[in-house]
Structure 1
């Protein structure tokens, strides 16, 4: 688990193309997010529970509703669902909604739709800061086990 300062140092040392955007209140809705960045480039990091443990799913906000059954079939899991909030906090040390793109330590599934964007916006591990980063850096700095279309 990274603090915000540790994340910034790690990203600088990794030659990442990023910016950390501060805001006064947590981003709860798309209306909140629109004050700070292009919401079409938003990419939440969802934590999913599978029979093999937790995985991170970095997904385009433009994807809409996720069919977890179909996702499980595509990934080879018999069960995929959103992980329990307390389990997420216990295992990775971050509250759901503040899970960072980088530093969660989980195997990762990455939405290919994000790769056409110059930057994506999402979690920094701190609910009062958003990470703006090149999607190629997110894939490079994570243990991506699968890209989905």
Structure 2
């Protein structure tokens, strides 16, 4: 688990194109997020429980509701569901809703729709800060195992 300062140091060390945006209250809804960034560029990190263990899914908010049956088939999983909160905290140190785009330590599925954007906005690991970053840096700094087309 990376503290906010450690995340910033890691991103600087890896020559990432990013900004950390502070806000007064946690972002819990689209309406909350609109105050700080273009929600069409939001990229939440969801943690999935699969037959192979926990996996992060970084998906475009523009994708809408995810079809877990499709994801299960597309990636060859025999089991796929949202991960249990306790399992997420135990494995990553982060609570769901505060999972960072980078630094969660999980294998990752990345939504290729995000590559059309100049920047994406997602978790920083701290619910009072949002990470703005170039999508290719997210791919480069994670262990991406698959791409969601």
Q: Do the aligned partners of 1:109 and 1:146 also contact (CA within 8 Å) in 2?
A: yes
User: Any unmatched runs of 5+ in structure 1?
Assistant: none
Q: Which residue of 2 aligns with 1:120?
A: 120
Cα deviation digits, residues 103-148 of structure 1 (max 9, x gap): 0000000000000100000000000000000000000000000011
TM-score (norm: length of structure 1) = 0.99
Supply the distance in 2 between the matched residues of 1:138 and 1:61 (Cα, whole angstroms): 16
Cα deviation digits, residues 68-99 of structure 1 (max 9, x gap): 11101100101111001111001110000000
TM-score (norm: length of structure 2) = 0.99
Q: Indicate the SS of the match to 2:98.
A: coil
Q: How does 1:126-145 map to 2 (within 5 A)?
A: 126-145=126-145
Cα deviation digits, residues 19-50 of structure 1 (max 9, x gap): 00000000000000000000000000000000
Q: Indicate the SS of the match to 2:145.
A: strand
Supply the distance in 2 between the matched residues of 1:39 and 1:83 (Cα, whole angstroms): 24
Moved over 3 A (4+): none
User: Any unmatched runs of 5+ in structure 2?
Assistant: none
Task: Give the RMSD, CA atoms, in angstroms.
Answer: 0.4
Supply the distance in 1 between the matched residues of 2:113 and 2:61 (Cα, whole angstroms): 10
Report how many aligned residue pairs link the two structures.
149
Supply the distance in 2 between the matched residues of 1:92 and 1:36 (Cα, whole angstroms): 26
Q: Indicate the SS of the match to 1:47.
A: strand
